[in-house]
Amino acid sequence: MNRSPIWFERKFEFTFPVQQYPNLCARLRGTPARLEEIVRGATRDLLVRKPGASEKWSAQEHAGHLLDLEALWMARVEDYLTEAGELTAADLSNRKTDEAHHNQRPIEDILAEFRSARSRLLSRAENIAPANFARALLHPRLKTPMRLVDHLYFAAEHDDHHLVYIWELITAGQRGADKSIRHAD
């Protein structure tokens, strides 16, 4: 499997113009559809399969993690509106995802809840006065000022990071299943 870079090792440059916020909202709006497309047709066994000790989560748990982070993304949008001193900190241990037992839930429920939560986030973000998209707050882990437009970019990059993992887990599992079918003939 090709591995995407480790999330906590990623470096970000927030140098693009604030006028990118409609593009970022469009990108974020597309994540539920992209996630649904990736998992469509995958068997339950494939979605909940953990291929080895190096992979912490199954494809379905990665999808659940996207849902779990929606509360953080919304809290950070509210931080900008209330002019908090810094952005709400993430739980870097991802305890919420580890304790959520996403593999025991139907994938359809996770997808529907994610679509709904993302819709709420975008409704909130799209109703903010454009001037607020340039407001900057300190990101607690990166220790760098992050504008609201940067926050949307950060969330979109996080989405893509997990979509890559989901895609890789599913396609690797499908290739493995194809090999075992061929060997059984």
Asked if residue 164 belongs to a domain, the reply is yes
Asked if residue 143 belongs to a domain, the reply is yes
Asked if residue 4 belongs to a domain, the reply is no
Asked if residue 35 belongs to a domain, the reply is yes
Query: Which of 63, 56, 42 has its CA nearest to residue 170?
Result: 42
Asked if residue 157 belongs to a domain, the reply is yes
pLDDT at residue 149 in the model = 95
CATH label of the domain that carries residue 139: 1.20.120.450
CA distances from residue 44 to 8, 40, 50, 62, 136 in whole angstroms, order as listed: 29, 11, 12, 14, 42
Please state the domain count of the chain.
1
pLDDT at residue 37 in the model = 98
Asked if residue 3 belongs to a domain, the reply is no
Asked if residue 39 belongs to a domain, the reply is yes
Q: Which domain holds residue 159?
A: 16-184
Instruction: For the chain, 185 residues long, give each residue's pLDDT as a single digit of tens.
Output: 455 667 656 677 888 999 999 999 999 999 999 999 999 999 999 999 987 765 689 999 999 999 999 999 999 999 999 989 999 999 999 999 999 999 999 999 999 999 999 999 999 998 998 888 899 999 999 999 999 999 999 999 999 999 999 999 999 888 765 444 333 44
Number of helices (H) and strands (E), helices first, in the chain? Answer: 6, 2
Q: What is the pTM of this model?
A: 0.89
pLDDT at residue 55 in the model = 65
pLDDT at residue 181 in the model = 36
Asked if residue 173 belongs to a domain, the reply is yes
CA distances from residue 89 to 54, 73, 104, 155, 157 in whole angstroms, order as listed: 26, 10, 28, 14, 17
pLDDT at residue 88 in the model = 98
